[in-house]
Amino acid sequence: MFEREHHQKVLSILKKMNPEFLLDTKCYFGGGTAISLLYGEFRESIDIDFLCADQDGYRKLRNSVFNNGLGDIFSQPIELMRDVRADRDGIRAVISADGTPIKFEIVREARIELSGMMVASLPVPCLTSTDLFAEKLLANADRYADKSVMSRDIIDLMMMEKKCTCIPKQAWDKAREAYGDSVRGAFDKSKQLLRSNPEYFRSCLAKMGMSDELGLSLEAALNSSLEQPD
């Protein structure tokens, strides 16, 4: 179903999860790997991130992990490469997929409310498009100046924007509700960082396994400086 070998391994883990329990706890697949899988595998993404913004849902997840490890979250056996850890911020584990370690995390989202649903292309519930955008806007605001993350948040936003024409106003509103005007400021600055340093931009694209053709289209979109709705 997916072309990249690592994404096939991610899918093999997702297929072992319990979608009914995830829906019941309002725990949704999100982050860069979800975005890549949902938007055509435009880049390599290696971790599995879920998010839960529901207090009752996260309580149920925590209690389940305390009593049964990941036994309720997964409906089929998995091989753990590290003990499961759970605290107020999230639940973390490292799962083996044919010997490849894959980081698995459920993040307790306390900044914005989230919603999700089942989608045809994946076996687990995913964040809605609006909430995928909102989470990426927040992530970009947190770390846009950190070159160690290869500007992947703004690049993900640009790819999603390319597919969806524009960033939904609801996503801007949700992100601003959490972080205020800094969300838009970070968005503009992260684009300017790429625009002013094309060698760094191309290096980011290469490190994430993005094609030259796709890189050229993103550079063109970046330089067009299209404005987003306020």
Question: In order along the chain (230 residues), what is the average pLDDT of each group of 10 residues?
Answer: 96 98 99 97 97 99 98 98 96 97 99 98 98 99 96 97 93 98 98 95 96 91 62
Could you tell me the sign of the dihedral formed by the alpha carbons of 97, 25, 1, 48, in that order? negative
pTM of the model: 0.95
Helices 182-196, 212-224: axis angle to 10 degrees equals 120
Q: CA-to-CA distance for 43 and 159, rounded, in angstroms?
A: 10
Give the pLDDT confidence score for residue 221 in this predicted structure: 87
pLDDT of residue 126: 99
**Domains of the chain: residue spans and CATH:** 1-127 (3.10.450), 128-230 (no CATH)
Q: What is the pLDDT of residue 230?
A: 45
pLDDT of 203: 96
